[in-house]
A and B are shown apart, each in its own frame.
Chain A
């Protein structure tokens, strides 16, 4: 395993946050069958309240907000990884049925099910509790 696999990749192109935090690219797995696209994104530190998914035309944006990774009343002695928000944008080739999108977050992994469809209408997606 090389370092890039161990460390999170910083999302340099992401728009800057107002809070002074870094933005990382969540690692994803995407697979499909004839009816739907499935997306799994590693976003440790987020839950269903702090993830935001938006589908505008065929552009899918995933953002995750991570509360400061500080351990209460403790001082950091040694650090190998950094904590920050997540952002990643995908252009989807298949048209997605927005009303049937299913999203949930479990153990810091976002799972999205994007059923394929005909019509394209912008809509914000709400997240189900894990």
Chain B
């Protein structure tokens, strides 16, 4: 039976590495899609109120002492550790879904933050950080002569 031998045809052989490369590229793109790294934990919502930014995030079950919030320039860093429930010897887990371990997240704001005036509140597992803008950074009103 006669069949054209594809592997001997230079034109076809030449395209195979390209196709494989493209497939690898596609796989990488699609597998990375919708995936987030630990750097994105916890998820935040950012609000604005008269030049003050309010960052809220859901961090259930953390002792406030185990949380660390710091501000440098226009970046706020939230870090902390979620504590594990220490089980007694005769206790066994049937299901474990909650997030545990430590996290750290940097959030850059579009303005310089007045670090002295930053306030943080932790209520019902929700952290709310109020970040006022530095006075010198506020928009200035210009009078027209």
Binding site for B on A (CB under 8 A): 1-3, 5-8, 27-34, 37-38, 40, 42-47, 69, 71, 73-81, 106-109
Contact = CB atoms under 8 A, between A and B. Distances in A.
B59 A31 contact: no
Contacts of A40: 61, 85, 98
A107 B48 contact: no
Interface stretch (B7-15, B17-25, B29-37, B70-78): B29-37
Interface of B: 34-38, 40-49, 53-54, 56-63, 85, 87-88, 90-99, 122, 124-126, 128
Contacts, number: 130
22 contacts: A5-B99, A27-B97, A28-B98, A29-B96, A30-B95, A33-B88, A42-B60, A43-B125, A44-B124, A45-B124, A71-B56, A74-B47, A74-B48, A76-B46, A77-B48, A80-B43, A80-B44, A81-B44, A107-B60, A108-B59, A108-B125, A109-B60
Contacts of B94: 30-32, 37
A1 B41 contact: yes
A126 to B, nearest CB: 19
A108 B46 contact: no
A32 B92 contact: yes
Contacts of B54: 71, 74
B40 A6 contact: yes
Contact of B58 (A2, A3, A44, A106): A44
A81 B41 CA distance: 11
Given A32-B94, A42-B125, A44-B125, A75 B48 contact: yes
